[in-house]
Amino acid sequence: MNKPLEGIKILVVDDEPLLVEAISENLIMYGATVYCAGNGLEAIDSLKVNSVDIILSDMQMPKLDGINFLKNLRLMQANPPPFFFLTGYASEHSVEKLKALGAADILAKPFQISQLIDLILIHLKRTP
C-alpha cells in the first residue's frame, strides 16, 4: 500500500462522527497520524496538547464553528498549520473571503480522497 501521508499529523474536526471516523480511517490507511475533534472547542483543546501539520475542519459545528475556530487559531498561533475547510454548502461561502481569513483551501463534500491527499501534499511541500 502506498502511504503518501507517512509522518503527517492531521487534525480532523467535524460534528458528524461517522464522517470524522471515515476520513480518519482513510488518512490512517494512507499513513497519517490523525487527531479527531467534534467541534471547534475540542479542536483547540486538542491543539494545545498536540501539534499537527494539517487541519481539516467542517464549517458548521456546535459550540465553536469552523470560521471562529480558525480565527481563534490565528490568534493563538502565529503560524498555524494549513487549514482546510470541508463544507457541505460550498456555494454559500466565497473562497476569497475564507482564504483572506487564513484558510488554505476549501473542499466541497462529498470529495474524493485523492483530492484531499493532493491538496495536503501540495500545501505541505509549500511549507518549509
Does residue 54 touch another protein according to CB under 8 A?
Answer: no
Helix or strand holding residue 26 (H, E): helix 17-29
Does residue 19 touch another protein according to CB under 8 A?
Answer: yes
| C-alpha neighbours within 13 Å on the C-beta side of residue 85 | 31
User: Of 22, 36, 44, 124, which lies in the binding site for another protein, with binding defined by CB under 8 A?
Assistant: 22
Stretch that binds another protein, among 15-23, 48-56, 96-104, 118-126 (CB under 8 A): 15-23
Binding mask 85-124 for another protein (x = CB under 8 A): -xxxx--x---------------xxxxxx-----------
DSSP-assigned beta bridge partners for residue 39 = none
For the beta carbon of residue 109, count every other beta carbon within 10 angstroms: 13
